[in-house]
């Protein structure tokens, strides 16, 4: 079977998660949904079975997030906790780190946030200024992060810092698990127009002292380990966007079938029907690329997955924004009312274009890595 076509197991998973999402709906309670999704084994579906996970991959986890999103109740922390942090710890963590974190991430009893973005560096890992220096066997971590999701509900944050290479003197990325209550680790909530269950924070790390075992993986393989987490992040962001786009489109389709003006449903008019059909096509195409990216990643092809994950995130972000815009337009004034819940998606859909990496940086990636064109920076 082609990697882009779903197995019967995947279809069954979609159906089961869709039923869960339908029970909770768009007025969902985040904690209740998180707990039920965990109990049913959906949160840790990508984590190793020996640590309480489902033994699947990002393919399965992306299905969970997409279907919850399509039901109007996406769980943004799924992008971060099991997909990024769980994946990095499962692939590169010590046995002790795996035992401590993976079962808890899988059963939902603990969550982990992810801190890479900085005020002056954005997501450019080469310009990160958060630094870690050795003090005996401990690490001292100093720096700032911004737009970090869910820090207030996370038990720890996986922080991307940089350490000095003893051989070259150059800084290299490293990953550290920072407990929420660590001394010198403070947060400030960012006032966002975006309405979401998960809040955004600016973090300050002021000589946060961490034990040696707070370092995840090999000190000399930081970039490899970092990108092992960033590819799932892009794939899951695509799932988030596709789910949101599907939800908006479904509302518009229902409305276009039922709303009658001049003796015919408005959906009978091609000016209404065709843009909705185009939105559906774009979402389906984005999903195909997401499935390809997930399949490549789960097969261990990090390089191939890098290209596909970026393309999937780009395509899904564009498709989501267009689907939401067309859905709101289809409903007219009703599209801006609280009753239908579409207006709030105008801002939320934009996130898929901006985070975790802008569409312009993805175009840069494809220009340089795929097409072999020279860099402008």
Q: Which helix (H) or strand (E) element contains residue 175? A: strand 171-179
Where exactly does CATH 1.20.140.10 map onto the chain? 226-370
Cβ-proximal residues to 205 (8 Å cutoff; 6+ apart), any chain:
130, 141, 142, 143, 144, 145, 159, 178, 184, 185
Round to whole Å and give the CA distance between 114 and 262. Answer: 53
Closest CA to 83 of 50, 48, 43: 43
* CATH assignment of 113-222, among 2.40.110.10, 3.40.50.2030, 3.10.20.30, 3.20.20.140: 2.40.110.10
Contact 142, 130 (CB under 8 A): yes
Tell whether omega for the bond before 356 is within 30 degrees of 0, i.e. cis.
yes
Where exactly does CATH 2.40.110.10 map onto the chain? 113-222
Closest CA to 214 of 176, 182, 159, 161: 176
Cβ-proximal residues to 296 (8 Å cutoff; 6+ apart), any chain:
3, 304, 305, 308
Round to whole Å and give the CA distance between 58 and 40. Answer: 17
Closest CA to 90 of 53, 42, 37: 53
pTM assigned to the model: 0.95
CATH topology for the 226-370 domain: Butyryl-CoA Dehydrogenase, subunit A; domain 3 (1.20.140)
What value, to the nearest 5°, has the Cα angle with vertex 100 and ends 149 and 143?
Answer: 40
Q: What is the CATH number of domain 8-111?
A: 1.10.540.10
Q: CB-hemisphere CA count at 13 Å for 95?
A: 0
Q: What is the DSSP letter of 109?
A: S
pLDDT at 1: 35
Closest CA to 91 of 226, 214, 260, 278: 226
pLDDT at 193: 87
- CB neighbours of residue 374 within 10 Å: 6
pLDDT at 182: 97
Where exactly does CATH 1.10.540.10 map onto the chain? 8-111
Closest CA to 290 of 239, 252, 229: 239
- CB neighbours of residue 96 within 10 Å: 9
- pLDDT by residue, tens only, the chain of 377 residues: 345 578 999 999 999 999 999 999 999 999 999 999 999 999 999 999 999 999 999 999 999 999 999 999 999 999 999 999 999 999 999 999 999 999 999 999 999 999 999 988 765 666 788 999 999 999 999 999 999 999 999 999 999 998 876 666 677 789 999 999 999 999 999 999 887 878 999 999 999 999 999 999 877 666 778 778 899 999 999 999 999 999 999 999 999 999 999 899 999 999 999 999 999 999 999 999 999 999 999 999 999 999 999 999 999 999 999 999 999 999 999 999 999 999 999 999 999 999 999 999 999 999 999 999 999 87
Closest CA to 81 of 105, 117, 49, 62: 105
pLDDT at 166: 60
Classify residue 225 as exposed, middle or buried by CB count within 10 Å of its CB (0-12, 13-18, 19+).
Answer: buried
pLDDT at 377: 77
């Amino acid at each position: 079977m082609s990697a882009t076509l779903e197995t019967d197991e995947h279809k069954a998973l979609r159906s089961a998660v869709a039923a869960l999402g339908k029970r909770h709906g768009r007025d969902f309670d985040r904690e209740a949904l998180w707990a039920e999704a965990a109990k049913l084994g959906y949160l840790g579906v990508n984590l190793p079975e020996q640590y309480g996970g489902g033994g699947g991959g990002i393919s399965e986890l992306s299905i969970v997030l997409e279907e919850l999103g399509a039901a109007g109740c996406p769980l943004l922390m799924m992008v971060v906790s099991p997909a990024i942090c769980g994946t990095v710890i499962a692939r590169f963590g010590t046995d002790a780190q795996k035992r401590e974190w993976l079962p808890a991430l899988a059963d939902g009893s603990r969550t982990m946030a992810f801190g890479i973005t900085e005020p002056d560096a954005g997501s450019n890992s080469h310009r990160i200024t958060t630094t870690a220096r050795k003090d005996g066997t401990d690490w001292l971590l100093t720096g700032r992060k911004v737009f970090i999701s869910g820090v207030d509900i996370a038990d720890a944050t996986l922080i991307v810092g940089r350490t000095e290479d003893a051989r070259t003197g150059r800084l290299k990325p490293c990953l550290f698990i920072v407990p929420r209550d660590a001394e010198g680790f403070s947060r400030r909530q960012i006032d966002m127009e975006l309405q979401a269950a998960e809040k955004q924070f600016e973090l300050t790390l002021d000589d946060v002292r961490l034990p040696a075992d707070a370092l995840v993986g090999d000190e000399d393989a930081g970039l490899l380990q970092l990108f092992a987490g960033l590819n799932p992040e892009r794939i899951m962001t695509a799932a988030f966007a596709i789910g949101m786009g599907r939800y908006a489109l479904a509302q518009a389709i229902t409305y276009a079938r039922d709303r009658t003006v001049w003796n015919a449903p408005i959906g009978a008019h091609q000016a209404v029907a065709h843009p909705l059909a185009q939105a559906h096509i774009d979402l389906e195409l984005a999903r195909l690329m997401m499935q390809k990216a997930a399949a490549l990643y789960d097969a261990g092809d990090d390089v191939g997955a890098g290209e596909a994950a970026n393309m999937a995130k780009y395509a899904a972000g564009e498709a989501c924004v267009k689907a939401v815009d067309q859905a709101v337009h289809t409903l007219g004034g009703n599209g801006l009312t609280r009753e239908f819940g579409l207006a709030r998606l105008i801002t939320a859909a934009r996130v898929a274009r901006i985070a975790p990496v802008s569409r312009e940086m993805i175009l840069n990636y494809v220009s340089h890595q795929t097409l072999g064109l020279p860099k402008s920076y």
